[in-house]
Chains A and B, each alone.
Chain A
Amino acid sequence: MSKKMIALIILTFKEGVRDRALIGIGLFSVFMMGGALVVVSLFMRELHKVSVDINLSAITFAGLLLTFFVSINLIAKDMDKHTIYCVLSKPFSRSQYIWGKFLGIMLLIIVAFGILTLCSSATIFFIKSQYEVYFKGFSWFSFYTAIYAELLMFFLLNAVVIFYSTITTSSFITLLFSISTYIAGQTIEEVVLFLKTRGAADMVLSEGINKIIDVAQYILPNLSVFDLKVQSAHAVSISNGYLFSITAYSLIYTMILLLVASFIFTRRELK
């Protein structure tokens, strides 16, 4: 990796850190984790499940806010506010710009995940020390595995954001497309599974809709494969094969999106 790329990655990271929204997102997540201390006491016995559910949801939610409100600003606003001209006047190729931005954003998300994981580990550790008896079904390994899988999802989602930033002209449209892709990616599996059930067989769906769903399930990223939160809450073991597959899926899909984004961006006429 060239020095120029590293400089761009660090610049993007620093720009992200300076965003005030970051403090709000961090505080919100920490409050949510703190809320777990109160909420768990309302449950019967599976306190470990509730603690893990709340903490993992807080981390995911923070990641989503970061992606949709900070990441998008870091690239799409460059084009919105024409600051991209300053950046591109430097000796960068356009594809270097895309990769540098992506890696800078990911560095920001990895650091944020690291801090939030520390906070949530402290919260769970505290709850565990209070209710040791109700934590027999808890596993730190499963907990961190779920966070790792979530991080893989954010690799892919941020690549989606970068991709849309290169084909649209406004940060709002990028936000709208990214949120839509996230929702569709999270639900497509459920919809396809539902259509395979017997109950759905009675539903009359037009050929067209069936075709759209068929095509969509292969084009859209299946983001639900990265959701291991429920399994982690019950310390259900995940095979290494599965973890390897989701890692490969995330990396390959991300690379495809970034390559296509670079291809489009190098040919795009900036106005």
Chain B
Amino acid sequence: MRPVLLKSLSPLFLILLIVLCFLVQKDLAIKREHFLEKTYMDYTLPSKVSGIVAMEFKGIVSDFLFLKVSTFLGDKFMKRLMLGDRHAEYIYNSVDVITDLDPWFWDAYLLANMVLSWDFRKIDKANTLLFKAREYRTDDFQVPYQIGFNYYYFLKDNTNGAKYMMEASKLPGSPAYLTSLAARLFMYQNQYKPAILFLKDVIAKTRNPVLKKRFETRLNTLIVLDDLEKAVDKFKEIYGHFPLKISDLVEKKIIEKIPQDPYGGDFFIMKNSRVFTTSKMVFKKRKPSQEKQFDSSN
């Protein structure tokens, strides 16, 4: 009797175990997320070690490490958590290791450049990696183009900016506008136009949705800044002097209304009559609790 009962109960028991396993797994996934958030190892083994350990699987190891870095960044971007110098170091060191394993890996160079220059303003570190890329990707116009842009836009060094943009324009596959952009870089001094072109080019080739959205927000802000600067110039043309506030442009009906900053800041006119935003194109922190949590995890 008993074996028959056990036999008939065993499928039921199995179903129960499967359901239980599913529930435990679901709970574990949540706990694991918290666990990783608190104990995330933002450290990559130096290439002297990882290069030896990876043996002949350097390519696939570099892919894995790149995925780890981009997931780390994607998570921080999505939660709009502030990134500190320690994170800049982590990104720089990781990409340095990744590109030691695979020195042609452009995705890694590009990600590091975009984040180190735009988010951390660590232009020297971004350029160090780009110059490393230049040694290997000798036929790729994107490398000198990015270096040139960093010199021009962030370091305000038009001479080097034009030099590298010109170098890029001579390489195969470079966009047609690059030659004229390089030639007129001095004319565009302190303008948002080259940055808009640059970001459009990056967005067109980016597949990662989180990064793409981030770049698009930045592009939209730059377009608004560019439009506002054009309006400021128009104001000067009509009234012979620059406006003091953005609201002056609305009052004189040059623009209909003050546009919104996608980063949540306010646009203002600087002393040199250029337009910028109080957000500095960085998202505001969402909640103080999140910041606290972030600090404790580090």
**Residue positions of A touching B, CB distance < 8 A:** 39, 41-46, 49-50, 52-54, 56-57, 60, 134, 153, 183, 186-187, 190-191, 194, 199, 223-224, 226-227, 229-230, 233-234, 236
Contact = CB atoms under 8 A, between A and B. Distances in A.
A187 B206 contact: no
A53 B207 CA distance: 19
Given A41-B207, A187-B52, 9 more contacts: A44-B70, A44-B207, A45-B205, A46-B105, A134-B207, A223-B56, A229-B56, A230-B101, A233-B102
Contacts of B70: 44
Interface centre among B56, B67, B211 (most CB of A within 10 A): B56
B206 A234 contact: no
A234 B59 CA distance: 10
Interface in B122-150: none
Nearest to A188: B52
Contacts of B55: 183, 186-187, 224
A44 B60 contact: no
Contact of A43 (B52, B56, B107, B205): B107
27 contacts: A39-B63, A42-B67, A43-B66, A43-B207, A43-B208, A44-B70, A44-B107, A44-B207, A45-B110, A46-B107, A49-B59, A49-B104, A49-B105, A49-B107, A54-B63, A60-B56, A134-B207, A186-B55, A187-B55, A190-B51, A224-B55, A224-B56, A227-B58, A229-B57, A230-B101, A230-B104, A236-B104
Given A50-B63, A194-B48, A230 B107 contact: no
B178 interface: no
B39 to A, nearest CB: 23
How big is chain B's contact interface, by range?
A: 20 to 34
Given A45-B206, A50-B63, A190 B52 contact: yes
Contacts of A42: 67
Contacts of A236: 104
B73 to A, nearest CB: 12
Closest 7 CB pairs of A and B: A53-B59, A234-B104, A186-B55, A227-B56, A57-B60, A44-B107, A53-B60
A53 B104 CA distance: 13
Contacts of A52: 59
B54 to A, nearest CB: 9
B206 to A, nearest CB: 6
A39 B59 CA distance: 14
A34 B163 CA distance: 45
Interface in B60-106: 60, 62-63, 66-67, 70, 101-106
A59 to B, nearest CB: 11
B134 to A, nearest CB: 15
B111 interface: yes
A226 B48 CA distance: 20
Contacts of B105: 46, 49
Most buried by A among B66, B103, B211: B66
Contacts of B60: 53-54, 57
A53 B103 CA distance: 14
A43 B104 CA distance: 15
A194 to B, nearest CB: 6
Given A45-B207, A46-B105, A230-B102, A191 B52 contact: yes
Contacts of A53: 59-60, 62-63
Contact of B59 (A44, A153, A190, A229): A229
B135 to A, nearest CB: 13
A41 B207 CA distance: 8
A54 B59 CA distance: 8
A187 B50 CA distance: 11
Nearest to A133: B205
Interface centre among B104, B110, B211 (most CB of A within 10 A): B104
Nearest to A134: B207
A56 B59 contact: yes
A236 B140 CA distance: 13
Contacts of A230: 58-59, 62, 101-104
Nearest to B58: A230
Contacts of B205: 45
Contacts of B104: 49, 230, 233-234, 236
A43 B206 CA distance: 9
Contact of A186 (B56, B103, B208, B211): B56
